[in-house]
Copies of this chain bind each other. A is one copy, B any other.
Amino acid sequence: MPNASNEHEHTPLLPIGVVTGQTGLTARQIRYYEQNGLIKPARTNGKQRLYSFQDLNRLQEINRLLQDGLNMAGIKKIFQDNGLLPEVDQESAEKRVSETEMRKIFHEELKQAGRFNHGRGKFFNK
């Protein structure tokens, strides 16, 4: 049986200020990645974002992929291929990828083949 995943991995606990501190990303970046469907943090009743450790790991991975030159669409594709995309509402889901983009993405994905999901999650390894 695999590792019993940590109790808090999916619990929304961290406000965006803490996440910026832990990831080095700016709040602007984090919200932008959310716009692109890469993460979907929980919300308080007052609509403040709360992130889980899984979100934190995901953001770290996004950061790495960005530094490798990937763009939003590329990262999204990779996440999709690994079945790691958050349940996306149809609104943001209909952001279809253009043809030329697809070729670009494909090229970049080659560069990245197999680089993801090798169990180096900094905060939790599920």
Q: List residues of A whose CB falls within 8 A of some B CB.
A: 7-8, 13-15, 17-18, 22, 44, 50, 53, 122-123
Contacts and interface: CB of A to CB of B under 8 A. Distances in A.
A90 to B, nearest CB: 30
Contacts of A44: 17
Copies in the complex: 2
Contacts of A17: 44
A18 B44 CA distance: 9
Contact of A8 (B7, B15, B50, B123): B123
14 contacts: A7-B122, A7-B123, A8-B53, A8-B123, A13-B13, A13-B14, A13-B18, A13-B22, A14-B14, A14-B18, A15-B15, A15-B18, A17-B44, A18-B50
